[in-house]
């Protein structure tokens, strides 16, 4: 993802401050008798071990979204850094546990934590990171007043509850033959949209925004999440692998219940019949199955849905009315997240 100016300028100022805050928090995992817990977390966060560095750290989009919102709403972004560290730590906790739940072997090009250290220590390191996220948000200090800090902590934990509900649905759906499109959206609300909504809402809260503006920012983050997921599902079947870096056979080969697939199943046409018969069994079967899905209207439906959600996200952003260079950067970040199809 190439960041244009002024987004890049903010990124280069804000993210080092977030990284520093995360490092100060994660230091608390040090333990005299065995320092393994700290090293596991530092490895997962891309600070230590083989392959450490920017590629292993991920893009840190969530803290950037939070701090840009604060700055674009007239707040001092440096005061919001503990909350930005908290959302990134929370995101990374969920990745450590997701990798165990999905038996994932690699993450950002490196072996996953549980693969390297075993399941018991890996699971426990996720718990530690979740705890550190909770501690981070409580580091919002005066002049942020105690009532605002409490509200920020409530938003963070409410979001964590949404995440675990979304994750429950995701795992539970695997064992169902099909899932309704409505049930799919409940899962995406938890797994993808809730944390992005928390970023923009926390950013607005810590700038002292009005309730109405906070709600608009919340809706903006949520809609970015929903639209992002719809595009991601679209690109997983009809994307240009050379542009997206994402295989266009993987989702169908793994028989993932993505939005186009669920729409296709609801149509009960040629795609649904082939799927019920266990297709695809080989990568060679994928193009024909994708064509059947398109013929049943799933491609047009998914594209229209993603485009409509993108429009709603941009409308919510207009309503939130971000200001100044940070507001401009926030618009740029939203477009980068939403225009992955182009």
Tell me which residues in 33-62 interact with a second copy (CB under 8 A): 33-34, 36-37
Task: Choose the binding region for a second copy from 1-9, 52-60, 152-160, 194-202 (rule: CB under 8 A).
Answer: 152-160
Q: Which tokens belong to 81?
A: 């850094």
One of 160, 313, 330, 333 touching a second copy (CB under 8 A): 160
Which residues have a Cβ under 8 Å from the Cβ of 74 and sit 6 or more positions away? 207, 208, 323
CA distances from 57 to 41, 45, 54, 109, 189 (A): 12, 6, 5, 11, 25
Shortest Å distance, C-beta 302 to a second copy: 20
The nearer residue to a second copy, 8 or 154, going by C-beta atoms, is 154
182 is an interface residue for a second copy by CB under 8 A: yes
The reply to whether 95 sits near a second copy by the rule CB under 8 A is no
Query: Stretches 65-73, 166-174, 211-219, 301-309: which one binds a second copy (CB under 8 A)?
Result: 166-174
- Choosing from 9, 124, 279, 315, the residue that interacts with a second copy (CB under 8 A) is 124
Q: Of 196 and 317, which CB lies nearer to a second copy in the complex structure?
A: 196
Q: CA neighbours within 13 Å on the CB side: how many for 103?
A: 0
Other CB atoms within a 10 A radius of the CB of residue 266 amount to: 16
Q: Identify the residue among 13, 23, 106, 158 touching a second copy (CB under 8 A).
A: 158
How many residues sit close enough to a second copy to count as binding (CB under 8 A)? 51
Least distance to a second copy, CB of residue 111, Å: 19
Helices 181-188 & 211-238, crossing angle to 10 degrees? Answer: 120
Helix axes 146-174, 194-205, angle to 10 degrees: 170
Q: What's the token pair of residue 66?
A: 């939070």
Q: How many CA atoms lie within 13 A of 321 on its CB side?
A: 6
| Interface with a second copy (CB under 8 A), residue from 7, 15, 29, 298 | 29
146 binding a second copy? (CB under 8 A): yes
H or E element at residue 15 = helix 7-26
Distance CA 140, CA 153 (A): 10
Span of 30-38, 214-222, 266-274, 317-325 interacting with a second copy by CB under 8 A: 30-38
Q: Which stretch binds a second copy (CB under 8 A): 69-77, 105-113, 171-179, 261-269?
A: 171-179
Give yes or no for residue 1 binding a second copy (CB under 8 A).
no
Token pair listed for 60: 């840190």
Encoding tokens for residue 93? Answer: 């906790």
Q: Which is nearer to a second copy, 117 or 234 (CB)?
A: 117
Closest CA to 51 of 100, 8, 110, 96: 110
Q: Label the pairing between strands 110-111 and 106-107.
A: antiparallel
- Residue 229 interacts with a second copy (CB under 8 A): yes or no: no
Q: Does 181 bind a second copy (CB under 8 A)?
A: no
Question: Binding residues for a second copy, per CB under 8 A?
Answer: 28-29, 31-34, 36-37, 97, 100-102, 119-121, 123-128, 130-132, 134-135, 138, 145-147, 149-150, 153-154, 157-158, 160-161, 163-165, 167-169, 171-173, 182-183, 186-187
């Amino acid at each position: 993802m190439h960041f244009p100016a002024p987004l890049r300028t903010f990124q280069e100022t804000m993210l080092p401050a977030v990284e520093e805050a995360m490092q100060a928090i994660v230091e608390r995992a040090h333990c005299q008798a065995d320092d393994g817990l700290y090293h596991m977390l530092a490895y997962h966060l891309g600070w230590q071990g083989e392959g450490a560095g920017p590629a292993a750290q991920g893009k840190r989009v969530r803290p950037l979204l939070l701090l840009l919102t604060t700055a674009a709403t007239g707040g001092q972004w440096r005061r919001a850094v503990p909350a930005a560290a908290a959302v990134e730590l929370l995101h990374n906790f969920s990745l450590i546990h997701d990798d165990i739940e999905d038996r994932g072997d690699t993450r950002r090009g490196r072996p996953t934590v549980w693969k390297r250290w075993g399941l018991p220590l890996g699971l426990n390191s996720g718990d530690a990171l979740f705890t550190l996220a909770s501690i981070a948000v409580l580091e919002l200090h005066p002049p942020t007043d105690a009532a605002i800090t409490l509200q920020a902590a409530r938003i963070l934990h409410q979001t964590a509850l949404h995440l675990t509900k979304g994750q429950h649905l995701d795992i539970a759906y695997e064992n169902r033959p099909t899932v309704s499109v409505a049930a799919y959206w409940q899962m995406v609300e938890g797994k993808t949209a809730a944390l992005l909504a928390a970023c923009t809402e926390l950013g607005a809260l810590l700038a002292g925004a009005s309730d109405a503006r906070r709600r608009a920012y919340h809706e903006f983050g949520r809609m970015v999440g929903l639209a992002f997921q719809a595009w991601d599902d679209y690109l997983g079947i009809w994307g240009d692998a050379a542009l997206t870096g994402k295989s266009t056979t993987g989702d169908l080969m793994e028989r993932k219940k993505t939005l186009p697939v669920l729409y296709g199943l609801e149509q009960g046409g040629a795609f649904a019949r082939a799927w019920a018969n266990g297709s695809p069994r080989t990568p060679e079967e994928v193009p024909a199955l994708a064509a059947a899905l398109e013929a049943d209207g799933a491609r047009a439906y998914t594209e229209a849905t993603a485009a409509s959600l993108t429009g709603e996200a941009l409308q919510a952003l207009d309503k939130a009315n971000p200001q100044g260079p940070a507001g401009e950067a926030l618009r740029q970040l939203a477009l980068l997240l939403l225009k992955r199809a182009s």
